[in-house]
């Protein structure tokens, strides 16, 4: 198989039970779980919010730059083993600053490891700061101010967390400012939210990719537009199953999307929470949707073309 890129993963979503217990011990913290098995028994989600509740609670163990470095290294090691050769990684600044962890500490930990990623794991990387759409817009503005003040070497901004009731339009100004600074822009839209949020992300936020976007299928005119404009959709099949966006992997609309001509990619979203990394997503899709070698090739090529890697790096990745 050709090399591929992962364009939709939250580094905080790579925080698995073992690391949670390890970091709690190192930081001398008490966890609200009786045992590893007790924690693992809670990975049963009914919707996006039920997952976000556990995801945010578990972040309490991330306190030092070393913690963020360990988390990042853990993700890169697993992703490289799964065949990922380029990764664009989200992080949620507000989820840490709100707990009293300085943004510089978060950046130091993640960036120290990303700096050696190509050498140690053969993976090029980029970091994307996501705004939490269920928090006040003012907080997103403050995060952008701080990122710019620190000259954080991020490649772009994103929009995540609880979607329904928190439309992209709220974030028009902060996205405009980020884009004016030369940053790429992406946004979660059409995961649980309606097709209208996908239109808003494109028209109001000026995003270059849509994260998830599966609900575009409810709006044929929007599908035509996404096809015509070759807007990449970073789809996360196992996430969609675990968060009940779709009933089962066998009923996932990935092939429908490919057949419609949409520029779809496959991603893990939060690999420690949804049953596996991007390699597992591909393996399960081969089993449940009978995804063919040709379709996997298309998805791999899409991921590289849709990435924000340099033209030279894209050429290199496509030739692998």
The backbone torsions φ and ψ at residue 162, rounded to the nearest 5 degrees and listed phi first, read -60, 120
CA distance 277 to 275: 7
Rounded least distance, CB 232 to ligand ADE, Å: 17
Rounded least distance, CB 160 to ligand ADE, Å: 4
Is residue 161 close enough to count as binding ligand ADE by CB under 6 A? yes
Cβ closest to ligand ADE, residue 47 vs residue 221: 47
Q: Encoding tokens for residue 224?
A: 């035509």
**Exposed / middle / buried, residue 294 (Cβ in 10 Å: 0-12, 13-18, 19+):** exposed
Is residue 10 close enough to count as binding ligand ADE by CB under 6 A? yes
Is residue 63 close enough to count as binding ligand ADE by CB under 6 A? no
Is residue 160 close enough to count as binding ligand ADE by CB under 6 A? yes
Rounded least distance, CB 209 to Zn ion, Å: 12
Of 190-249, binders to ligand ADE (CB under 6 A) are: 191, 239
Q: What is the dihedral of CA 203, 204, 205, 210, to 10 degrees?
A: -40
Cβ closest to ligand ADE, residue 8 vs residue 301: 8
Rounded least distance, CB 212 to ligand ADE, Å: 7
Is residue 252 close enough to count as binding ligand ADE by CB under 6 A? no
Cβ closest to ligand ADE, residue 86 vs residue 188: 188
**Percent helix, strand and coil across the chain, each to the nearest 5:** 55, 15, 30
Q: Rounded to whole angstroms, what are the CA distances from 173 to 96, 157, 180?
A: 23, 13, 10
Is residue 277 close enough to count as binding ligand ADE by CB under 6 A? no
Chain residue at closest Cβ approach to ligand ADE: 160
**Residue 7 near residue 265 (C-beta atoms within 8 A):** yes
Ranges of beta strands (E only) in the chain are: 4-10, 84-91, 124-132, 156-160, 184-189, 209-212, 232-235, 263-266
* DSSP-derived pairing of the beta strands 84-91 and 4-10: parallel
CA distance 218 to 194: 9
Of 170-189, binders to ligand ADE (CB under 6 A) are: 188
Of 18-57, binders to ligand ADE (CB under 6 A) are: 48, 55
Is residue 295 close enough to count as binding ligand ADE by CB under 6 A? no
CA distance 41 to 64: 27
Report the residue count for the chain.
320
Q: Which residues are catalytic?
A: 191
Selection from ligand ADE, Zn ion, none that 58 binds (CB < 5 to 8 A by kind) is none
Each residue 256-275 as x (binds Zn ion by CB under 5 A) or -, in order, gives -------------x------
Identified binder of ligand ADE from the candidate list 269, 284, 302, 303, rule CB under 6 A: 269
Selection from ligand ADE, Zn ion, none that 62 binds (CB < 5 to 8 A by kind) is none
Residues in contact with Zn ion by CB under 5 A are 269
Residues in contact with ligand ADE by CB under 6 A are 10, 13, 48, 55, 160-161, 188, 191, 239, 269-270
């Amino acid at each position: 198989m050709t090399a591929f890129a992962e364009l939709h993963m939250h580094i905080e979503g790579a925080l698995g039970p073992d690391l949670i217990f390890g970091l709690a011990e190192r930081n001398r913290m008490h966890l609200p779980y009786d045992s590893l098995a007790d924690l693992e028994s809670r990975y049963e989600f009914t919707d996006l919010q039920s997952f976000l509740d556990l995801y945010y609670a578990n972040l309490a163990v991330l306190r030092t730059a070393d913690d963020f470095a360990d988390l990042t290294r853990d993700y890169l090691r697993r992703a490289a083993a799964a065949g990922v050769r380029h990764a664009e990684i989200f992080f949620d600044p507000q989820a840490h600053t709100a707990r009293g962890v300085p943004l510089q500490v978060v950046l130091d930990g993640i960036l120290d490891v990303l700096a050696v990623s190509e050498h140690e794991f053969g993976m090029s990387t980029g970091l994307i700061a996501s705004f939490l759409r269920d928090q006040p817009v003012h907080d997103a503005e403050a995060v952008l101010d701080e990122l710019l003040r620190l000259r954080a070497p991020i490649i772009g901004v994103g929009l995540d967390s609880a979607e329904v009731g928190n439309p992209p339009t709220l974030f028009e100004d902060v996205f405009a400012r980020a884009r004016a600074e030369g940053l790429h822009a992406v946004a979660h839209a059409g995961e649980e939210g309606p097709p209208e949020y996908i239109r808003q992300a494109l028209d109001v936020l000026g995003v270059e990719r849509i994260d998830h976007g599966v609900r575009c299928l409810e709006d044929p005119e929007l599908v035509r537009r996404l096809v015509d404009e070759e807007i990449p959709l970073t789809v996360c099949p196992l996430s969609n199953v675990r968060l009940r966006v779709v009933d089962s992997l066998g009923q996932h609309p990935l092939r429908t999307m490919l057949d419609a001509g949409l520029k779809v990619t496959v991603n893990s979203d939060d690999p420690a929470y949804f049953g596996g990394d991007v390699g597992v997503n591909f393996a399960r899709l081969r089993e449940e949707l009978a995804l063919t070698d040709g379709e996997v090739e298309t998805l791999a090529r899409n991921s590289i073309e849709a990435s924000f890697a340099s033209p030279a790096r894209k050429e290199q990745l496509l030739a692998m």
